[in-house]
Amino acid sequence: MFIEIVLFVVLAVCVYTDITARKIYNFVLLPACVSALLYYLLTGGLDLGWWSVQGLLLGIALLVIPFAMGGIGAGDVKLLGIIGVLKGPEFVVIAFLAGAIVGGVMSAVYLIKQKKMLSILKNIGYNIYYLAIGAPRIKVIDDNGQTAVTIPYGAAIALGAAAAYFVR
């Protein structure tokens, strides 16, 4: 019960801060990480502590490539790691997949609402074409001169984790 309370407090705070300030704060994540590690070490010994660390490492590993490519922020990576340290490696994979689905739906809704879906689809089409002919990847600027569309992906990760919790 303690872990679930910590999980949902972290998720709620991170959704709020990611939507309002586009930040996921370390002062929220670090105490959750330390609390989870101590809890598992004290209640289950080294085996459960190692299981928790595996969840942390897997959560981080799942988002390292998108982070390295500039697609998401470090807070998103750390949030998924904290979900892993709290609920373990199996759960973090399910939360990651559910978060990807939620993020995709959020992106589609945002693009349709902002009337940017067509320009993004054209960009994808151009890149597929250029990839097929062996040309380098390009950035196509949309009608408003913008190249990037961002969403608060930490909120998508948190909603995915909540969905994973209630589905299990």
Question: pLDDT, tens digit, for every residue of 121-146?
Answer: 888 888 888 889 988 766 655 556 55
Per DSSP, helices labelled H in the chain are 2-21, 26-68, 74-87, 89-113, 117-133, 153-167
CA distance 73 to 97: 18
Residue 55 lies in a domain: yes
Confidence (pTM): 0.87
CA distance 33 to 84: 9
Q: What is the residue range of 42's domain?
A: 2-96
59 CB neighbour count, 10 Å cutoff: 29
Question: pLDDT, tens digit, for every residue of 48-96?
Answer: 999 999 999 999 999 999 999 988 999 999 999 999 999 999 999 999 9
- The answer to whether 41 and 51 have CB atoms below 8 angstroms apart is no
82 CB neighbour count, 10 Å cutoff: 30
Residue 144 lies in a domain: no
Residue 49 lies in a domain: yes
